[in-house]
Structure 1
């Protein structure tokens, strides 16, 4: 398998994963590019791995978690005000629900968000998540449990928004 073939086959799925992890299209593109640059530099190791896709996915996850740890020293985008949010309102209930979920996920710690995304978006089991993140399976289960409890707490505190 060549690097170009790998990118053609798995590039979009890596980009989607990065978007779900980061919640930002531009950051997702940067994370994906960073992971693919690292994969290119170490292509012989990637190809020799049991699952090259899982290897590069782990590189992407590590890049995401590293970015989240360093974020306090980087630029931060300006928050949109309430007036801008009113202009961007979408009548579709599905879009509103998806956005509410993204907001709730953004309130979680990076490791908790990563565990939930890998479990529910990529449908990985605890062993695969533990391998991808470099932690134990029990740590994955504990993190997922705490993250879900926190999401339930967030959902209980936030008022239900009317879409009409």
Structure 2
């Protein structure tokens, strides 16, 4: 919401910033601006005007590709690990580092995450468990891309099962 002074007759242009969340569905959106002229009490709407409807195309700023897998088996051992490899493609206007992490892990599981620098599109997530870790399966685990500040982006993998095998 933007409020202008009562004598706004000298204003011919007004710049507005539009912040779009990263999880907005990707398709064309229609938008307009509504202006209400308020009465002397600054509450009663005397008149309303609308700007012409404009179209705004949303884009996916990030795309994730990983090897298609339904199950990832992780051997237990101090020097054992499995590597999930993939690529994050950034839109030309989205030139910032991003995070890549595993989500859907139960509480208490060690986090698996990296920061993918701006100059890199490929990543490797190393998953390992020390000797003595019990066998278990974790369903609905995903690889997810995060934006600055750890905000989840729309780029995420299909769910898979992570199996810990001593």
Normalised by the shorter chain, which TM-score bucket? under 0.3
TM-score (structure 2 length as normaliser): 0.22
TM-score (structure 1 length as normaliser): 0.22
Look at both structures and tell me which one has the larger radius of gyration over its CA atoms: 2
Higher strand share: 2
Higher helix share: 1
Question: Greater relative contact order (Cα 8 A, min sep 6): structure 1 or 2?
Answer: 2
